[in-house]
Amino acid sequence: MERTTLSRRVYLWGAWLFLASVVVQVFLIGLYLFAGGDLELHRSVGFTVPFLLSIVIVVAAFAARLPGRSKRWSGAVLVATFVQTSLPGLKSSLPLVAAFHPVVALLIFWIGLVVLRDAQAHATGGTPSETGR
């Protein structure tokens, strides 16, 4: 399998897994809030899984030699995920800023959808503009 083809598949699977990890994070915080779950599980999964997947997405976008637009969106996933993991640490010093944590989660999900749509277009050999974007 050609490196570019493999990288596009990794980009696609990374995007799918990233979105799934966001859904899992929302479930884990809901589990904590409504069913007595463990907040530490939400924290530990949130600090590792989405962040590592966002790195995979960026690396795959560059390895697949995707257009600049795709690379920028993959970079946006990484930056937004980094910001997201930083917000809870601001609770004591900047609580109003830390309160954006759930809002940024929505933003991350939306950016993840954009990247997934882009990844699907590239995986099928098309370009995002050919799929109606």
Q: What share of the chain is helix, strand, coil (3-state, %, to 5)?
A: 85, 0, 15
Give the separation between CA 67 and CA 51, rounded to whole angstroms.
22
Question: Tens-digit pLDDT profile for the chain (133 aa)?
Answer: 688 899 999 999 999 999 999 999 999 999 999 999 999 999 999 999 999 999 999 999 999 999 999 999 999 999 999 999 999 999 999 999 999 999 999 999 999 999 999 999 998 876 665 444 4
Q: Name the pTM for this structure.
A: 0.90
Instruction: Report in angstroms the alpha-carbon separations of 102 from 28, 30, 58, 105.
Output: 13, 12, 23, 5
Give the separation between CA 58 and CA 77, rounded to whole angstroms.
8
Domains in the chain: boundaries? 3-121
